[in-house]
Amino acid sequence: MSPPIGPAVDTVPRPLPARVPIRGQYAVLEPLHVRHAPELWRAAQGADETWAYLGQGPFASQAALTQYIGDFAAAQDTMVWAIRPVSTGAVSGWLALLDIQPKHASIELGSIWFGPAMQRTRAATEAMFLLLRHAADDLGYRRLVWKCNALNAPSRRAADRLGFTYEGTLRAHWVVKGHLRDTAWFSIVGDEWPACRDALRGWLDAANFAPDGTAHRGLGEIRAAVASR
């Protein structure tokens, strides 16, 4: 008897993401560029705590941020987008596709920074959805990855809200800003994505929001309804 080796899959390498704009209802993703630095500098004012779990920031000056953005945007192994909420028209954050493994159809959504004005908004949720949809539906990646500092409770909640499944924690994984970091890993794989996609679409539907912006149904509620179909 042959030992178990897992199911056979399509082995065609997936394409790399392209540095192109992606437009949604509430947010426009623009390939990150140093021209975004002035807006991002304004978005970061008084928000030093937003950098707590990231490997960079806070930045001492706009020039320092601009230098970082120039290097970050030029990285060959990471595709980064600035986020421009439609409601404000001002770039207020960024996010990226990284750890891109075309041969294994695996890709990570990460390096996410949202300024305070964009946190907990439809634009923030849609920005993440747009890249997940692009990776899974347009490019054909079958493993979508999310990872974060194991102590980062907001990031863990975001992963759960988006439909990611917790896989485990790598202990003493990295050293970040002189501190030891355990890394929590999450994923959406294979046929899990369509239900996550449909739930996110349902939550983002304009009909799901009252005139004051309050959602009629939460994403978890919609996801449960989709799963029960």
| Residue 197 confidence (pLDDT) | 97
**Token pair in block for residue 78:** 């990471």
> DSSP secondary-structure letter at 104?
G
In the β-sheet with 93-101, what is the strand arrangement from edge to edge?
Answer: 22-23, 27-31, 79-85, 93-101, 106-114, 143-149, 179-189, 165-176
Residue 12's CB: how many other CB atoms inside 10 A? 10
For residue 73, the surrounding DSSP H or E stretch is: helix 62-74
| Residue 155 confidence (pLDDT) | 98
| Residue 2 confidence (pLDDT) | 86
The yes-or-no verdict on residue 220 having pLDDT over 90 is no
Residues 141-151 have pLDDT tens digits of 999 999 999 99
Q: Give the rounded percent of residues in the chain with a pLDDT score beyond 90.
A: 95
Work out the pLDDT band at 1, boundaries 50, 70, 90. Answer: confident
Residues 138-176 have pLDDT tens digits of 999 999 999 999 999 999 999 999 999 999 999 999 999
| Residue 229 confidence (pLDDT) | 80
CA gap 60, 214 in Å, rounded? 36
Of 4-8, 13-17, 21-25, 89-93, minimum mean pLDDT range: 4-8
| Residue 227 confidence (pLDDT) | 85
The yes-or-no verdict on residue 33 having pLDDT over 90 is yes
Omega before residue 15 within 30° of 0, cis: no
Ordered by where they begin, the domains of the chain are 22-227 (3.40.630.30)
